[in-house]
Structure formats: structure tokens, C-alpha cells
Structure 1
């Protein structure tokens, strides 16, 4: 009889360990999927930027330094495959460069009125919104995963099974966390 009780306890512990491991794997997969979504949106952003710069070049070719800074920041961000912290730093630089580009565009009324430029601005603004949504989903997934790893009884097994906490994607400058401001020159009510 004692053998059956011991065997039953061992089976229950094994079932519990399997269920716990599977929950941790599912949570880790959700974090990975959320990070992948962010990278897809950022790639879309990186693909839009050269078209935007080319459009601006036609109107403000003598503003070469600003245009080169945008392309350099874009290239650095696009090739960054590091941690969320590293990616956030690259994105901070890119957002700052884009802000200077849009400030430059304010000086050129013909550029602001250009249909292609306005279309690219709209696409970039939508992409910024999608990045923001993806970032919120990613950070929520990271929070749930980290809480799961830190909670009892998972905290007893998680590290030994190869699970470790993930980084949040946070921007240093609170202004950078906002989407790039796009002004279409329309009067406000």
C-alpha cells in the first residue's frame, strides 16, 4: 500500500512538472512572437524611410546633413539585432532624426503639399501606431512571463529548466515613446 502512495505522489509531481514546463514554454513562445511582431513593424518603418528621404531630396536637396542623419539612423536601427534595450537606443536615434526631417519639411510648403510625401507621412504614422501596439503587447507578454518565472512554485524549477527573465522594450526619452508627430498643414478646430 505504501508503495502505491509513493508511486502516486511521484506520478503527481511528474504531471505537475510537465504542466508547469509546458506553461513556461507557451509563455516564452508568446514573448518571442510578440518580439517578432515588433521587428516586422520596424522593418516596415525602415522600408518607408528611404522613400520619404527621396521625396524630401527633390525639394530640399541642400539639406544634405539632415537627410544623411536620417538614413544613418535608419541603417543603424535596421541592422540592430540586439536586446530590446539596444533596439530601443537605435529607435531613439531614428525617431529623433525623423523629427528633424519633419521639422525640415515644415520649411517647404511645396513639399508639405506633395501627394507622395503626404502619403508616406500617413503610412509612417500608421506604422508608428502599429509599433506602439506591438510594443504594448510585447511588454505585456514579458510581464506575464517574468511573473510566471518569479512565482512559486515555478521559481523553484524555471532557472534549472533554462528559463530566464526577458527585458522590456522601453524608450529612455518619454517623448520618443510617442509616435512621430505628422502635421499635414490642416487647420485645427
Structure 2
């Protein structure tokens, strides 16, 4: 074998190894990113279900009682804000996720206020449509929790893949950045105060 052929073979082997590593990194990152996008879609679907149910709940409350208009207006406005925030799952930033969480938290707060205020209306509490919607909302909140948990579970392998060395070098070349985890709403660590005396 000629001496000049040995360096060419070594360079070819190294080049092929680097190519294989880059292709493997990119393909894995794309698959993991698709899992993140799918799980984000499930989060949005769960929130959309809640938003749809809240519209029905508000209409049931309006029709069943001479209800505090301020509480209903608050729920309607919070629902409108919650549906106005859209996020591209392939390019989620911590700021976008915080904004999404903030408006969803506002809707959650308005909804809690509505449900606490309902306690003063025995006819409404006995309304079968209202009770069914209340049960569906409770079920939907569990679906939201599950969807958010699965989203975070899909973020972890993606972030591990693109942030660990030496993959982090290729992540910059292929424009893959780590994604933020879904965090709890600000103040979620505080207990909920329920006051039926109003």
C-alpha cells in the first residue's frame, strides 16, 4: 500500500464519522422536536376544550339566575384574552410560555371566582346542565395537567440531546435551541382562599 493512501483513508474515515454523527444528531433532534410539537398541540387542545366549556358555563349561568354581571364579564374577558395568545411550538421561548401561562392563569382565576360565587345560588347549583358542565370542567383541568406534564416530559429528552456536549456544537449549526419547561403560575404555591361570606 502506498504511503500517501494511508492519510487519505484516515481522513475519509474521520470525515464519514463526522458526517454520520451530524446526520444522527439532526435526525434525532428533529424526531424529539416533533414529539415536543405534538405534546404542545395536546396542551393547546386541552385548554381549548376548557375555553369551549366556559362559554357554555357562562350561558348556563346567565340563563339560570339573575347573576352578578361583573363576575360574568370578568370570565368572558379572561376567556377572550386566553384565546388570543398563540405559540409556535417549534420556536417556543420562555417569554411566550410565561405570557401563555399568565393569560391561562387569569382565566383560571376568573373561573374559580365564578364557581365560588355560584355557591350563593341554590337553584343554579341544582341545575343539571350546570352540574354537568362543572364535572366536565373538573375533568378538563385534569386533562390540562396531564398534557402539561407530558409536554415537560417531552422537553427533557430534547433539551438533553441539544444541550449536552458535543451535540451542543451541532445544535447551533442546525438552529436547535433548548425549549422552556411549563412552569406553575406565579403565586400557585399559595393556598387558595375561599370565602362564602360575600
Q: So what's the TM-score if we normalise by structure 2?
A: 0.85
> How far is the alpha carbon of 1:62 from its aligned partner?
3.7
Counterparts of 1:27-66 in structure 2, within 5 Å, are 27-66=32-71
Counterparts of 1:37-186 in structure 2, within 5 Å, are 37-82=42-87, 83-170=96-183, 171-174=185-188
Unpaired runs of at least 5, structure 1: 182-189
Q: Is 2:61–2:67's contact at 8 Å kept on the other side of the alignment?
A: no
Distance 1:53 1:175 in 2: 28
> How far is the alpha carbon of 1:98 from its aligned partner?
0.4
Distance 1:38 1:62 in 2: 32
> Which SS does the other structure have where 1:166 is aligned?
coil
Distance 2:165 2:74 in 1: 49
Distance 2:127 2:189 in 1: 27
> How far is the alpha carbon of 1:59 from its aligned partner?
3.2
Over the aligned positions, Cα root-mean-square deviation in angstroms equals 1.8
Moved over 3 A (4+): none
Larger Rg: 2
Q: So what's the TM-score if we normalise by structure 1?
A: 0.88
Quick one: structure 1 residues 93 and 123, their matched pair in 2 at CA, closer, same or farther if it must change by over 3 Å?
same
How many pairs align? 178
